[in-house]
C-alpha cells in the first residue's frame, strides 16, 4: 500500500499541482483583463496569483521555492496569461471560474498541508501552510487589482480551505494512508466551498 | 554571570516573546473588530500582526521561521483572536492597548536585534532586524485594514524602536552583559514611546 | 579571458550594485519627499525601494540576503535618504532621475539574472529573477506611496527589464563570455527604456 502511494502520489500530485497553478493564474490574468491592462501586467498578475501561495509556504517551511527549481510552473502561468490575453473576456464565465477555483482551493489546501507535514512540521503550522498555499495567491491578486480581499468577505472561502487542510492533518496524524486522507479532506473542503457558491453561505460578522 | 544569563535569558525571553505576540495579535484582532469582520478575518489579522515582524526577520537572517517550529506562537495568536471576538470592543480601551503596544514595541525591538546579533550579523543590519521585528506587524495590519500606516505618521514610533534596537547593539558591542544591555535599551525605547503617547511627541516633516 | 573576467567582474559588479541601490533609494526617498514625510519615513522608503528587489530575489533563490551580510548596502540607502532630506526637492529633476533609473533598471535586470544563473538556476526562472531584482523595489515604493504601480502603467518598463534579463540568459546559454553578454544585454534594455522615456513608447492594452 505505502509503496503504491509512493509511486502514484508524486505523479498525481504534480498533475494536480499544475492544474491548480493554471486555475489560479487564470483568475489573476482575468483580474488584469477587467482592468484593461497590457500583456506584461497579465503575466505579472498570473504569476503572482498562480505561484504566490506556494512561494510563501516554501519560504516559511524552509523548502527550495518550487517554481525556481522547475520552470514548468512559471511557464504554465505565462501560457495561461497569453491564453487569456488572446481570448475575449466574455468566454471566461465567472461562474465556471468559481467552480475551477473551488477545485483549486480544496486541492491546494491539502497539498500545502501535505508538503509541510511531510517535512516534519507540526499539526497547527502544517494546517496553516495548507491555508496559506490556497489563499495567499488570491489575497495578492485582490491587493494588486485594488478590490476588497477575499479575506475581508464573509463568504465561506478561507473556512473551506481551513476545513480541508485541518481535516487532512487530523486524518494523517490518526494514521490514515496519505491518498485516502487527501481525497477525503479535499472532498470535504470542496463540498463546503460548493455550498457557499450555490447557497451564498457566509459566516457571521462581529457585532461589537 | 554569563552562565546565569545563559540559563535565565531563554526562559525570560520566551515569556516576553509570547507576551509581545499576544499584544500585537490583539491590536490586529481589534482592527478586524472595527471593520465588523468575521472570526476568520480576526484570526488572519491576529496572526499576520502577531508573527509578521518576526517572520520577515527570520527569513532575512536565514533562521528557521520561529512559529513554524513552535505551535505555541500561532496558537497564542488564534486564542487572542477568539478572546477579542468573544468580548465587546468597548472593554478594549485604545489607551490601554497603546501602553501594551509600547511595551511590546520596546521588548521586540531589543529581541530582534539580540537574535540577529547572536547569529553573527553586523551592527547596522542587526539594529534593522530589531526595527523590522517590532514594526512590520503593525505595517501589515494597517495595510490590511486600509488605514494610514504607522510608518506614515509623524508620531514617534519607529524612532522609539530604532532607539531601543540601536542602543542594544551599541551596548552589546561595548561588551555589556546581554541582560543588562537588553534591560537598559528596552527601558530607553519604552520611555521615548511613552513620552510620545503622553505628550504627542512627533518628529518634523520634510518642508521641501 | 575567463581569469580576467573572474578578477574584474566582482569589483565592477559591486560598484554597479551600489550605484543601482543608490538610484533606487533616491527614487524611494523622493516619493517620501512628495508626501511631506519625516526623516524616518525617508529612510524606510529608501531602504525598501533600494534593497527590496534584491531581497525578494535572494529569498527566492535561497541565497543569503545580500544586505544582511554587507552593511554597505543599507548604509548607502540611509545616506541617500539623508541627502534627499537635506536638499530641496526641486534640485532633483524628475527627468534626470528617470535616466538614472533607466541605467539602474538595465544593470539590475542583468545582475539579477547573472546571480541566479551563476547559482545553477534554469533560464526561465533566472530571467524572472532579473526582472524581480529590477522591478520589485519600484512596485513596493509605489504601493507605500499610494500611487498607481509601474506594473499597471502601459509604459515600457518591465518589458525593458525582461529584454535585458532574457537577452543575458540567452547569450550566456549560447556560451558568450559573461562580461560581453552582460554589456550587450544591459545596453539593449537601456536602449528600449530610453526610447520609452523619450518617445513615450507603450505596449497595447487589452481590448476585451
Residue B204 covered by a domain:
no
**What is the model's pLDDT at position C208?**
67
**What is the model's pLDDT at position B9?**
66
Residue A25 covered by a domain:
yes
ipTM associated with this complex: 0.89
Residues 6+ apart with CB under 8 A from A41: A32, A35, C151, C152
Q: What's the rounded Cα separation, in Å, for the pair C19 and B152?
A: 27
Q: What's the rounded Cα separation, in Å, for the pair B126 and B146?
A: 30
Cα A81 from chain centroid (whole Å): 17
Contacts by residues A10-16 (CB-CB < 8 Å, ≥ 24 positions apart): A12/A179, A13/A111, A13/A114, A16/A107, A16/A111
Query: How far lies B148's CA from each of A49, B95, B140, in Å?
Result: 25, 19, 11
Q: What's the rounded Cα separation, in Å, for the pair B157 and B151?
A: 8
Q: A158 and B71: CB-CB below 8 Å?
A: no
Helix locations, B70-177, DSSP H: 72-86, 94-118, 123-145, 158-173
Residue C92 covered by a domain:
yes
Q: What's the rounded Cα separation, in Å, for the pair B113 and B161?
A: 10
**What is the model's pLDDT at position A3?**
45
| Residue C23, H or E segment | helix C2-34
B173 SS3 class: helix
**What is the model's pLDDT at position B1?**
39
Q: How many domains does chain B contain in total? A: 1
Q: C125 and A35: CB-CB below 8 Å?
A: no
Residue keyed to cell 483549486: A104
Mutate which of B40, B69, B76 to test chain A, going by most A C-beta atoms within 10 A?
B40
CA-wise closest residue to A121 among A62, A176, A56, A180: A62
Q: Which residues of B touch C69 (CB under 8 A)?
A: 121, 125
Nearest CB to B203 within list C38, C68, C74: C38
pLDDT digits (tens, 9 = 90+) for A119-130: 999 999 999 999
On the question of pLDDT at B2 being above 60, the answer is: no
CA angle, corner B58, sides to A152 and B142, nearest 5?
Answer: 30
On the question of pLDDT at B68 being above 80, the answer is: yes
Q: B74 and A151: CB-CB below 8 Å?
A: no
**What is the model's pLDDT at position C1?**
39
Residues 6+ apart with CB under 8 A from B85: A206, B29, B33, B39, B42
**What is the model's pLDDT at position B7?**
60
Could you tell me if B206 and C38 are in contact, meaning their C-beta atoms sit under 8 angstroms apart? Answer: yes
Beta bridge partners of C202: C155
Burial of residue A151 (number of CB atoms within 10 Å: 0-12, 13-18, 19+): buried
Taking the CA of residue C133 and the nearest CA in chain A, the distance in Å comes to 14
Nearest CB to B38 within list A124, A128, A205: A205
Residue A82 covered by a domain:
yes
Taking the CA of residue C149 and the nearest CA in chain B, the distance in Å comes to 16
Residue B24 covered by a domain:
yes
| Better-predicted residue by pLDDT, B90 or B106 | B106
Using beta carbons and an 8 Å cutoff, which residues of A are at the interface with C?
A: 32-33, 35-42, 44, 47, 55, 59, 64-65, 67-69, 71, 74-75, 85, 88-90, 144
Q: Which chains touch A (3 or more CB pairs under 8 A)?
A: B, C
Residue C17 covered by a domain:
yes
Q: What's the rounded Cα separation, in Å, for the pair C60 and C40?
A: 28
| Residue C44, H or E segment | helix C39-61
pLDDT digits (tens, 9 = 90+) for B139-150: 888 888 878 777
Q: A74 and C205: CB-CB below 8 Å?
A: no
- Taken in order C125, C130, C131, C132, the sign of the CA dihedral is positive
Q: What's the rounded Cα separation, in Å, for the pair A10 and A69?
A: 16
Cα C132 from chain centroid (whole Å): 8
CA-wise closest residue to A131 among A163, A178, A176: A163
Nearest CB to A125 within list B39, B44, B67: B67
Nearest CB to A59 within list B39, B47, B59: B59
Q: What's the rounded Cα separation, in Å, for the pair C48 and C25?
A: 8
Residue A205 covered by a domain:
no
Q: What's the rounded Cα separation, in Å, for the pair B147 and B149?
A: 6
**What is the model's pLDDT at position B112?**
94
Helix locations, C62-157, DSSP H: 66-69, 72-86, 94-118, 123-145
Range(s) of the domain holding residue C173: 2-199
Q: What's the rounded Cα separation, in Å, for the pair A197 and C127?
A: 39
CA-wise closest residue to C13 among C63, C54, C64: C54
Low-confidence spans in chain A with pLDDT less than 50: 1-5
Mutate which of C109, C143, C151 to test chain A, going by most A C-beta atoms within 10 A?
C151
Q: A208 and B35: CB-CB below 8 Å?
A: no
| Better-predicted residue by pLDDT, A133 or B94 | A133
Q: What's the rounded Cα separation, in Å, for the pair B51 and B65?
A: 10
Kindly state the cell numbers that stand for A44: 505579472
Q: 10-residue block means of pLDDT along chain C (208 residues)?
A: 54 78 91 88 92 96 94 95 90 81 91 94 96 90 80 84 97 94 96 91 80
CA-CA-CA-CA dihedral for C12, C18, C23, C27, to nearest 10: 150
Q: Which residues of A touch C163 (CB under 8 A)?
A: none
Q: What's the rounded Cα separation, in Å, for the pair C203 and C135?
A: 17
Q: Which residues of A touch B59 (CB under 8 A)?
A: 59-60
On the question of pLDDT at B187 being above 50, the answer is: yes
**What is the model's pLDDT at position B129?**
97
Instruction: Assign B3 a pLDDT band (cuts: 50, 70, 90).
Output: very low
Q: Which residues of A touch C162 (CB under 8 A)?
A: 40
The distance in angstroms from the start CA to the end CA of chain C is 52
To the nearest whole percent, how much of chain B has pLDDT over 90?
A: 58
Beta-sheet strands, E only, within A32-177: none
**What is the model's pLDDT at position C162?**
95
Residue C190 covered by a domain:
yes
Could you tell me if B182 and B109 are in contact, meaning their C-beta atoms sit under 8 angstroms apart? Answer: no
Q: Which residues of A touch B35 (CB under 8 A)?
A: 152
CA-wise closest residue to B188 among B106, B82, B66, B94: B106
Phi/psi-derived region of residue B146, left when phi > 0, alpha when psi is between -120 and 50, beta in every other case = left
| Better-predicted residue by pLDDT, A14 or B194 | B194
Name the residue of chain C whose CA is nearest to A75's CA: C124
Nearest CB to B158 within list C44, C65, C89: C44
Residue keyed to cell 528557521: B64
Q: Which residues of C touch A74 (CB under 8 A)?
A: 124-125, 128
Q: What's the rounded Cα separation, in Å, for the pair C164 and C120?
A: 19
B127 SS3 class: helix
CA angle, corner A77, sides to A73 and A79, nearest 5?
Answer: 110
Dihedral pair phi/psi, residue A154, rounded to 5°? -70, -15
The least confident of A23-37, B111-125, B160-174 is A23-37
Residue keyed to cell 553573527: B120
Amino acid at each position: 500500500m505505502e509503496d503504491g502511494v509512493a509511486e502514484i502520489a508524486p505523479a498525481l500530485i504534480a498533475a494536480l499541482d499544475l492544474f491548480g497553478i493554471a486555475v489560479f493564474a487564470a483568475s489573476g490574468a482575468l483580474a488584469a483583463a477587467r482592468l484593461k491592462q497590457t500583456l506584461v501586467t497579465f503575466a505579472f498578475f498570473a504569476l503572482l496569483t498562480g505561484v504566490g501561495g506556494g512561494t510563501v509556504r516554501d519560504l516559511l517551511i524552509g523548502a527550495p521555492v518550487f517554481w525556481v527549481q522547475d520552470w514548468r510552473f512559471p511557464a504554465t502561468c505565462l501560457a495561461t496569461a497569453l491564453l487569456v490575453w488572446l481570448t475575449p473576456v466574455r468566454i471566461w464565465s465567472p461562474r465556471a471560474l468559481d467552480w475551477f477555483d473551488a477545485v483549486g482551493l480544496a486541492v491546494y489546501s491539502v497539498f500545502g498541508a501535505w508538503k509541510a507535514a511531510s517535512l516534519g512540521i507540526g499539526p497547527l503550522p502544517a494546517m496553516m501552510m495548507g491555508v496559506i498555499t490556497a489563499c495567499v495567491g488570491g489575497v495578492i491578486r485582490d491587493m494588486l487589482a485594488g478590490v476588497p480581499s477575499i479575506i475581508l468577505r464573509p463568504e465561506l472561502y478561507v473556512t473551506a480551505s481551513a476545513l480541508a487542510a485541518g481535516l487532512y492533518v487530523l486524518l494523517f496524524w490518526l494514521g490514515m494512508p496519505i491518498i485516502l486522507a487527501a481525497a477525503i479532506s479535499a472532498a470535504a473542503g470542496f463540498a463546503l466551498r460548493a455550498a457557499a457558491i450555490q447557497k451564498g453561505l457566509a459566516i457571521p460578522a462581529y457585532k461589537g
